[in-house]
């Protein structure tokens, strides 16, 4: 009836009114909390209690995640996810970490001491003693920039190098990095990533490189060899701040090259100067990065050159995933594969040059 339809319409309108009023109240409450520096979420944030007290074990896991993501070389998001789960950590909602959860962790401004408005992106500093920052602001900003700009760091496994020397080994003719492939007999190979300069069977090359790394770890005091030394100069936060500013400067200058009224040569020279400084900062950050070899041997007490040390080193190597094996290779040795002479088809180990990266 008309009366029933009227009542139903009124009840539906009242329900919509109540829902909208409740939402507006929640929005105003969240805005007030942000302005006062209080996180708006009712969920416990990983790293703190619900009241904002630091949980040291979780905070340390957060720092390790940022260090792994921003380190040189860095770990993939998928690998960081696996490390968090293998360590027994759970998200704030009590589930295992997913790839998306790791991305959210690295992008979460609360870890740097800020509350971010989800629509505008505006940052509000956290007030009071609750929710103390776990990482520095520039560390967080560097992680966000990398998440946004570096698509090759995506968590899709197909985008991650799967083999020991992919993108690490070098072509002896042109210096390009090696990529993986197969030959006409369907055997796995490494080949020059730029031209058809060389193709080499992957398995014997990997065996040679593995033996060289294990020998180096067993016969050299790696703690003294690659452990980062304290040095004077800007700290990591200052270097990251400068690097981010330089990256933004390149972004500002690049569009000017499309303007025919701008001095192209001067702008190009300025961009090249800025990029050169970025490369210098990257090299300095790499020198200060934590040694993968030193981490591997942190608890190895057996004397250098002994069979006992070799046995422990081999067991630790076998326990490593491919990402960390690649890190060790990249840190300790340079691998260059030379082209074979015409007419030669047998594998020649003399054409695989493995040189210590540091003496």
Domain range list for the chain: 1-31, 56-158, 161-227+292-356, 236-288
Six token digits for residue 243: 């690097």
Exposed, middle or buried: residue 7 (CB in 10 Å: 0-12, 13-18, 19+)? exposed
* Distance in angstroms (rounded) separating the CA atoms of residues 226 and 176: 26
Range 190-197 contact pairs with CB under 8 angstroms and sequence separation of 24 or more: 190/163, 190/165, 190/166, 190/337, 193/167, 195/171, 197/171, 197/172, 197/173, 197/339
Handedness of CA 286, 65, 60, 110 (dihedral sign): positive
Are the CB atoms for 265 and 257 separated by under 8 Å? no
pLDDT (tens, 9 = 90+) of the chain, 359 residues, equals: 777 777 777 777 777 777 677 666 655 655 665 555 556 555 678 998 888 889 999 999 999 999 999 887 778 888 899 999 999 999 887 888 888 789 889 988 889 988 876 556 677 788 778 889 999 888 998 888 888 765 444 434 445 678 999 989 999 988 889 988 887 678 899 998 887 788 899 999 999 999 999 998 888 765 555 444 444 445 666 777 777 788 888 888 877 777 777 777 888 888 888 888 887 876 666 555 557 777 777 777 788 888 899 999 999 999 888 888 998 898 889 999 999 876 666 888 999 999 988 64
For 56-158, CATH gives: 3.90.1750.20
In 3D, which of 141, 105, 125 has the Cα closest to residue 240?
141
Are the CB atoms for 338 and 198 separated by under 8 Å? yes
Six token digits for residue 303: 């004397």
Give pLDDT, residue 222: 54
Task: Return the ∠ at Cα 318 (arms to 315 and 321), rounded to 5°.
Answer: 140
CA dihedral 175, 180, 184, 185 (to 10 degrees): 130
Give pLDDT, residue 151: 42
Give pLDDT, residue 172: 92
Residue 115: beta bridge partners? 124
Give the predicted TM-score (pTM) of the model: 0.50
Give pLDDT, residue 225: 52
């Amino acid at each position: 009836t008309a009366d029933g339809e009227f009542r139903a319409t009124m009840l539906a309108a009242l329900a919509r009114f109540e829902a909208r009023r409740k939402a507006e109240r929640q929005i105003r409450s969240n805005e007030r909390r942000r302005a006062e520096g209080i996180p708006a979420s009712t969920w416990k944030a990983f790293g703190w209690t619900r009241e904002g007290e630091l949980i040291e074990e979780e905070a340390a896991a957060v720092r390790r995640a940022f260090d792994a993501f921003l380190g040189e070389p860095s770990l993939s998001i998928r690998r960081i996810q696996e490390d968090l789960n293998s360590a027994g950590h759970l998200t704030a909602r009590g589930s295992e970490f997913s790839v998306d959860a790791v991305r959210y962790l690295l992008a979460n401004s609360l870890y740097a001491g800020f509350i971010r408005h989800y629509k505008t992106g505006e940052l509000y500093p956290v007030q009071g003693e609750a929710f103390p920052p776990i990482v520095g602001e520039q560390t967080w900003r560097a992680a966000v920039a990398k998440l946004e700009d570096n698509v090759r760091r995506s968590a899709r496994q197909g985008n991650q190098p799967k083999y020991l020397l992919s993108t690490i080994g070098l072509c002896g003719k042109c210096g390009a990095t090696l990529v993986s492939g197969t030959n006409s007999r369907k055997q796995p190979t490494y080949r020059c990533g730029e031209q058809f300069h060389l193709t080499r069977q992957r398995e014997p090359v990997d065996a040679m490189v593995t033996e060289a790394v294990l020998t180096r770890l067993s016969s050299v005091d790696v703690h003294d060899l690659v452990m980062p030394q304290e040095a004077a100069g800007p700290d990591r936060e200052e270097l990251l701040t400068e690097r981010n500013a330089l990256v933004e400067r390149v972004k500002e200058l690049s569009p000017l090259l499309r303007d025919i009224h701008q001095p192209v040569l001067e702008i190009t020279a300025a961009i090249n100067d800025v990029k050169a400084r970025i490369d210098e900062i990257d090299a300095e950050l790499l020198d200060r990065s934590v040694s993968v070899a030193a981490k591997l041997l942190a608890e190895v007490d057996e004397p250098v050159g002994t069979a006992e040390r070799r046995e422990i080193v081999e067991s630790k190597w076998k326990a490593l995933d491919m990402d960390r094996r690649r890190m060790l290779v990249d840190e300790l040795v340079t691998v260059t594969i030379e082209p074979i002479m015409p007419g030669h088809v047998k594998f020649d180990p003399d054409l695989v040059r493995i040189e210590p990266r540091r003496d």
